[in-house]
Chains A and B, each alone.
Chain A
Amino acid sequence: MKHLLSVTDLDAAAATRLLDTSDRLKQALLGREVRKLPTLRGRTVITMFYENSTRTRVSFEVAGKWMSADTVNVSSSGSSVAKGESLRDTALTLSAMGADCVIVRHPASGSAHRLAAWMDGASADRDANTTGTHTSIVNAGDGTHEHPTQALLDAATLRDRLGEIAGRRIGIVGDVLHSRVARSNVFLLATLGAEVVLVAPPTLLPVGVSQWPCRVGSDLDAELAGLDAVMMLRVQAERMHGSFFPSAREYTIGYGLSAARAARLPGHAVVLHPGPMVRGMEIAPAVADGPSSAILAQVSNGVHIRMAVLYHLLAGAPE
């Protein structure tokens, strides 16, 4: 693995390898006073975030630190990005400083792929006098396209709670149109053998969703009883330039996970949310904090999954 740009680059074996490594790392750190592994000593990991984030940026940073990598954060506001430097120049600068891995979040779909191509080109014709090494790119969310580590941590959480993913039916509910989390999850969960059902208002489904490896429904109540897990998506108001539904209240009535709806899920069903939650909109507080919620488990698994990704990208010799 050279970069992690899209879950579609992972086949079932590669995805399972990452999930297994994540479980092993969790196991190796369990109950330890000092959560520090020497594995990535001397490696430099830079997070470059052009969009707001709490859990993704912090968990990548924690993952790097727990494995003894040097982690550095670049945000668009405090850096030369604010002076007008392009994404390409910023990334090449970081690579020339010796970054082994750049973790990028950017509002433009496809930005991680562009960066990876630039990095591969840069390492091919780099002057031997610069300190730059080959730089791996990890996509930490590019526009409305993909968020692979989120899908991996969701898969890890589902495997924890359900025992296995193959054959399970997983509902993804809400603003699919603007959700990179939904897209990554549909493709990864399908690769791992799950049956995925998207439930969303027709206005919040992307063009071409019929080509995705999933079923599409619009009646949440009709699906609830058959789901092994339900993943609620945040309504991404910041990406909405138009009216997609009449009102927040109407959205909640049609697609929100209320306590009454959660009660109709099978007893073993798991409730997921990638965060940040808008409590009372897509998910009721009683459900978010209820016994079937795995929302905080998702966050802890996020650190281990990101450690696994860094391990597979940086620990070994280039494949």
Chain B
Amino acid sequence: MADDRRGDVDNAEAPGRELLSAADVTRTIARIAHQIIEKTADVADVVLIGIPTRGAVLARRLAATIAAFEGRELAVGAVDPTLYRDDLRRKPARALGDTTVPDVGLDDALVVLVDDVLMSGRTVRAALDALAEHGRPRSVQLAVLVDRGHRELPIRANYVGKNVPTARDEQILVLLSEIDGRDGVRLRPAPAGERT
């Protein structure tokens, strides 16, 4: 998904300006974990659902962090929104991501959707549709590491790691050690010739 402007770009080089260091990423995840604990009466019925690829990694990290604070293992899963996207016909067929719904199911659960970068809101819209096929949660909330603005749909995150005002053609790179070998968030100007 190198071309969907959401951050899942080729991170091999990772140039650009640093927005969050590795330590900042860890602190930010810890803060979101605390906010989730604060906002829910009983953490036990929270199900964390990540949006592949990096949202799924973040969901697992959030679960581990909450487990460390509260001593409870939360159910974690992933839901791939690709088959529900509204822009499939604009690009050659995309590879599909992982979909793993935890055994407890989603019926009457408090689902927290987790993604790395929130921009247009279209991915979250598709993920909500995908989610609805797997059950009827009591409530769905949204947690993102970076909100970069430019919303095209009425969608708002409940938990935001960092708000970053960006130009539309800039790129946010989210690096996570499970995938990229190290943690960090960087802002990169649009490569010449790719301006939209």
Contact = CB atoms under 8 A, between A and B. Distances in A.
Contacts of B130: 28
B95 A20 contact: yes
Dominant SS among interface residues on chain A: loop
A174 to B, nearest CB: 35
Contact residues on A (Cβ < 8 Å of other chain), bracket: 20 to 34
A62 interface: no
Contacts of B83: 25, 28, 37-39, 67
A38 B129 contact: yes
B89 to A, nearest CB: 6
B129 A31 contact: no
B84 A311 contact: no
B133 A32 contact: yes
A27 B52 CA distance: 14
Contacts, number: 53
Contacts of B39: none
B195 interface: no
B95 A17 contact: yes
A315 B84 contact: no
A310 B84 CA distance: 15
A317 B92 contact: yes
Interface residue tally of chain B, by bracket? 20 to 34
Contact of B88 (A24, A34, A39): A39
Contact of A24 (B80, B84, B101, B129): B80
B97 A316 contact: no
Given A28-B83, A32-B134, A37-B83, A20 B96 contact: yes
A311 B92 CA distance: 10
Given A27-B99, A28-B99, A38-B84, A311 B93 contact: yes
A316 B88 contact: yes
Given A28-B80, A32-B134, A38-B84, A317 B95 contact: no
Given A24-B96, A28-B80, 16 more contacts: A1-B93, A17-B95, A20-B95, A21-B96, A27-B98, A31-B101, A32-B134, A36-B133, A38-B83, A38-B84, A39-B88, A311-B93, A315-B93, A316-B88, A316-B92, A317-B89
Interface of B: 80, 83-84, 88-101, 129-130, 133-134
